Amino acid sequence: MGNRGRLHDAAGRIVRRWQGKAWITCTLREKPGRVSPGVMPPNGYTRLFFHDEAVASAAGHRPCAECRRAAYDDFRHAWAQAFGQRDRAVAMDAVLHAARIDSATRGQHRHVAALGDLPTGAFVLWQAQPHLVSKAGLLPYRPEGYGPAVQEPDAEGVVLTPTPVLALMRAGWQPAHSAAEDRPNW
């Protein structure tokens, strides 16, 4: 589960795509003694649901420092490896936000790259469909899950994962995902 702030109005209508630069992925487990406020609680953040962390990472989300501390610490460690500094969440969020949003269009930043140059865990559009780059090849993605791996072609694709997240993957950080071929130890 993730959030980008409060995206809905009092009537429950989505009125914005994000609020602020902190786009995080949280645990689905409720804190002890807390009752779930629902998906769009009044005066609360809008809950977003992703198939897995690889999908959330492709959208530009990072692990929550509160409810997913170990995942956040791994992310932050890879950040220090990739960028030579151990930034706090606010600084990382600013870099991630600049990389995921095109300021001219307010749409998602995308770029073209050779598929063979992308790290495991990245998302790419290939043949007009999103795919997860995995050790087994490209895994076609649909909201219900991943399809069987297809051989990674010697071609280019449109990269969906923000460039700082690609750098973290190259530094050793991997988002958790549900693809059986590459399931990490979590």
Tell me: the pLDDT tens digits for 146-184? 999 999 889 999 999 999 999 999 999 999 877 654 433
pLDDT score for 31 = 63
The rounded distance, in Å, linking the Cα atoms of 65 and 67 is 6
Q: How many domains does the chain have?
A: 1
Is 186 within the bounds of a domain? no
**Beta pairing, strands 111-114 & 123-126:** unpaired
The amino acid at 94:
A
Q: What φ, ψ does residue 138 adopt, rounded to 5°? A: -90, 130
For the cut 50, the answer to whether the pLDDT of residue 17 exceeds it is yes
Is 124 within the bounds of a domain? yes
Is 97 within the bounds of a domain? yes
Range of the domain at 78: 2-180
pTM of the model: 0.86
